[in-house]
Amino acid sequence: MKCFLPWRLAGVLLMALGGVVASAAAQAQVLQLKWGHVFEPASIFHQQAELAARKIGEQSEGKIKIEVVPSSKLGQEGDFALMLANDSMQIAYVGQATLADVYPPLRLGSYPFAFKDLAHMRKYLASPLLAELMKGYDEKSGNRMIASVYYGARQVTSSKPLQKPEDFRDLRLYVPDASAYQLFATALDAKPITLPFMSLYSSLKKGEVEAQENPLGTVKDKRLYEVQKYVQLTGHIYDTLGIVIGKAAWAKLTPPQQAMVEKTLVETAKWTNVGVIAGELEDEQFLRGKGMTVSPVNRQAFLERIAKRSTPEQFGARPGDYAKLQALGSGAN
């Protein structure tokens, strides 16, 4: 008996060790990805990311697990390029103006007043021109821009009425730290102020910032109607977001997984586009209901100011692309 027990114990230990190794191997087969963005959990963009994560998890039979991290908890949008590169974040929602800092021809879509209206933007989203620019970004960055999602028409909110370009002179205007937004501010002789997105509400409340520009959905989600009185429907940029997967993360996916992930992200992006478009009208009525004064402006007067400051080509667009973009809008109403 004294000789038998150690061997029996050894067998039990070997079996237990084998179970641990098998469990570790199974866990190693699960690809863990983090999807970061700056939006609130209630936003449609977070909802889309969660929906896509769930679908990808199901279709991969649990082999791909995506954790969606909202509200700038992983960092600011300006940090995302580095985080994707060093694989500390694997998927991100990134604004087109920020993407264009890596691949300047993408600035075409964020040149102020480049789009006549929403119909014009929708044609661009489905165009070979945008697909070509997305491919150019992939080649330059090494990342993979899977889809372009409509973020919304950027409008200006303020503590006082702003009806003409001259009203913006010396205005403390919050704009993100990207060339397109900076151009809009400086061409109007405003004082562009850049700060962390999470600090915008408090800065407006304290009067450190007098005005800001964002889609109406962001004004609603961030409750900026509590600290701003006026909405100017400038529609100066019909903005988009890129869904970007880092180079290292994309390489970890098998070809069938890549195809499945791409299809899922593209399909859920289309769902988001429909939701954002429907939401814009609802958001305008919501803000009116909160006591904000909403009014249109003469967009042509603003466009003339922008054109005097910079052409699309000086801004980064490839020669000929702006003409192609305007041709897309020739039938827009």
In a domain, 9, yes or no: no
Tokens of 288: 């009116």
- Give me the CATH number covering residue 312: 3.40.190.170
Q: What is the dihedral of CA 186, 212, 298, 171, to 10 degrees?
A: -50
User: How far is it, in rounded angstroms, from Cα 181 to Cα 111?
Assistant: 9
In a domain, 7, yes or no: no
In a domain, 86, yes or no: yes
Q: By C-alpha distance, which of 241, 244, 242, 249 is closest to 86? A: 249
Burial 44-65 (b: 16+ CB within 10 A, else e): bbbbbbbbbbebbeeebeeebe
In a domain, 235, yes or no: yes
**Cα 158 to the center of its chain, rounded Å:** 23
In a domain, 16, yes or no: no
In a domain, 110, yes or no: yes
Q: By residue range, what is the domain housing residue 178? A: 31-331
The residue written with tokens 């000929």 in the block is: 320
Residue 197 is predicted with a pLDDT of 87
Residue ranges of the chain with per-residue pLDDT less than 70: 1-28, 331-333
Domain tally, the chain = 1
Taking the CA atoms of the chain, what radius of gyration do you get in angstroms?
24
Where does residue 87 fall: left (phi above 0), alpha (psi -120 to 50 degrees), or beta otherwise? left
In a domain, 11, yes or no: no
